[in-house]
Amino acid sequence: MSTRLSAVVVEALDPAAQAEFWAAALDWSLAEPGLPGGALAIGPGDPDGVRLLFVQTTVPKADKNRLHLDLASGPDQAAEVARLLALGAVRADIGQGAVPWEVLADPEGNELCVLPRPDAEEHLAAICQDAADVAVQGAFWQAATGWQVTDRGAWGIALRHPSGSGPQLVMGPPVASGPGRNRLRFAVSAAGAGDDPAIERARLLAAGATGPAHEPDGSQEQLLLTDPEGNAFQLART
């Protein structure tokens, strides 16, 4: 029995506009039309890859997110930044100082980084979540996703799908203050057709999750739990 990381859920004032921006930014396409509540999903060509799922909210972004995406620059970082700005991103200052990456925000203010990765083949380099206790968070999300630890250091810990494809999952300090329910959050689902979501929920609770918290907007197929540091994430019921 196991769960897999199936999506990053993004609460959006305008899910269609956000999906359009991120599809262009990542060179992804609509992954699952006809979702309830006006939700939209985009994804890579790999059907088992991590998608972005945009769901409706009426609450504007106010604080720095605990979860953000890192994009790879390709051979020309300045050109990639210019491309994203032309799509609707803006430059952002979160106190990063002099760093080799560029910090931007999407049209609704969600932070993203453009990393200097000249040899990258994919736009999405990493999915990053703040973590105060890297060992605890790394162990929990390794259990929740089935991904393997590929690197660790003073900066945090990195996990990746056992296939070696797709983005890294990176966790480390600093930790933004904020509520347990984040504007961006992970969604996990049972990995196999025969896996029972109720059993998987019990397994995640035993691994350090808490919950249930409350229902996400517009969905009866998801249950919100929280990870060991209080970050909400979704578990598919079916």
pLDDT digits (tens, 9 = 90+) for 126-174: 999 999 999 999 999 999 999 999 999 999 999 999 999 999 999 999 8
Q: Specify whether the CB–CB gap between 132 and 178 falls below 8 A.
A: no
The pTM of the full predicted model, rounded to 2 decimals, is 0.92
pLDDT at position 181 is: 62
Beta strand 184-190 with 232-236 is: parallel
Asked whether the predicted pLDDT for residue 22 surpasses 70, the reply is yes
Task: Scan for tokens 């959006």, then name that residue.
Answer: 12
Rounded-to-integer distance, Cα 125 and Cα 40, Å: 22
Q: Taking the CA atoms of the chain, what radius of gyration do you get in angstroms?
A: 17
pLDDT at position 218 is: 43
What is the per-residue burial (b if ≥16 Cβ within 10 Å, else e) of 55-93? bbbeeebeebbbbbbbbbbbeebeebbeebeeebbeebe
pLDDT at position 193 is: 61
Q: Specify whether the CB–CB gap between 110 and 65 falls below 8 A.
A: yes
Rounded-to-integer distance, Cα 124 and Cα 49, Å: 11
pLDDT one-digit tens code per residue, 174-217: 888 765 568 999 999 987 766 677 889 999 999 999 987 554 44
pLDDT one-digit tens code per residue, 65-111: 999 999 999 999 999 999 999 999 999 998 888 899 999 999 999 99
Domains recognised in the chain with CATH numbers: 3-172 (3.10.180.10)
pLDDT at position 179 is: 54
User: Which tokens in the block code for residue 204?
Assistant: 């995640």
pLDDT at position 95 is: 87
Asked whether the predicted pLDDT for residue 220 surpasses 50, the reply is no
SS3 of 162-205: the string is: CCCCCCEEEEECCCCCCCCCCCEEEEEEECCCCCCHHHHHHHHH
Q: What is the dihedral of CA 226, 227, 233, 238, to 10 degrees?
A: -90
Neighbours of 32 (CB within 10 A): 13
Q: What is the mean pLDDT of residues 110-128?
A: 95
For residue 237, name the pLDDT band (cuts at 50, 70, 90): low
Q: What is the mean pLDDT of residues 37-55?
A: 91
Asked whether the predicted pLDDT for residue 124 surpasses 90, the reply is yes
pLDDT at position 31 is: 82
pLDDT at position 14 is: 96
Helix (H, G, I), strand (E, B) or coil at 113: strand
From the DSSP assignment, how many helices (H) and strands (E) are in the chain? 4, 15
